Structure 1
Amino acid sequence: MESARLDRWLWSVRLAKTRSDAAAACRGGHVRVNDRPAKPATTVHPGDRVRARVYEQTRIVEVAKVIDKRVGAPDAQACYIDDTPPPPPKEARPVFAVRERGTGRPTKRERRAMDALRSPH
């Protein structure tokens, strides 16, 4: 197979849970092929770079193999090369306003103190 529809390819390599989710991401402008906005019917070929924002996560992949039938996860991962940068490390935020279990509901004074610790200013 030399080419396939973009929405079907995204679904078949398991970047989207359903084909309609893949098509909705394309229609919403969240998918680009070779840095160009893509519609669901855009064809993908081996070597194309696909940037897809699906389920609040941006994935950057290169098409290694074109398939249009959904396959198992190990086979699906062999169909693309994942170039997605690793997520930034989560900031180590100190834990504020942790109460001991069983101490009951905070008083008004304690709640205001907790809110003062949480506020950014």
Structure 2
Amino acid sequence: MTDKLRLDKWLWAARFYKTRSLAVDEIGKGRVLVNDQPAKPAREVGPGDTITLRKETPAMHVRVIAVSAVRGPAPVARTLYEETPESAAARAHAAEMRRLAPEPAQAITDGRPTKRDRRLIDLVRGK
């Protein structure tokens, strides 16, 4: 293992993105920051760097522990980084809020009639 690696390769090897081209696209859109700075795909990252990924609503902040140019199994990929405690807490809180949120469909009172509603409508119309 080397001590520096391209950002897109590292994101791919750490299994944040399925392909390097997806990682390049997300970096280009500004959704990946290195040490709170916008980065380019060729930016080299090494142990100690902080990477912010905005894939989901609370951004994920990870600290690079190791670099690997090969994409291995998920348990090995998890050894390449460590999520910050603040990021883990924020993501857990967001997941809990999503779990406790009311079902959106319950607020809908009108809409397409059910089969039972249609039968009642047909009965009223005399069909």
Task: Please give the TM-score of this superposition, normalised by the length of structure 2.
Answer: 0.71
AA aligned opposite 1:44: V
CA gap of 1:92–1:29, structure 2 versus 1, over 3 A, is: closer
2:78 is the alignment partner of 1:77: yes
* Runs of 4+ displaced beyond 3 Å: none
AA aligned opposite 2:73: G
Return 5+ residue gaps in structure 2 as ranges: 119-127
Q: Report the alpha carbon displacement of residue 105 of structure 1 after superposing the two structures with TM.
A: 6.0
Across the aligned residues of Structure 1 and Structure 2, the Cα RMSD in angstroms comes to: 2.3
2:69 is the alignment partner of 1:68: yes
| Cα deviation digits, residues 13-69 of structure 1 (max 9, x gap) | 101111000010111111100000010000001000000123x46321100001111
Higher helix proportion: 2
Return 5+ residue gaps in structure 1 as ranges: 108-121
Q: Report the alpha carbon displacement of residue 86 of structure 1 after superposing the two structures with TM.
A: 2.0
Task: Please give the TM-score of this superposition, normalised by the length of structure 1.
Answer: 0.74
**Would you say how many aligned residue pairs link Structure 1 and Structure 2?**
103
> Highest CA radius of gyration, 1 or 2?
2
2:101 is the alignment partner of 1:92: yes
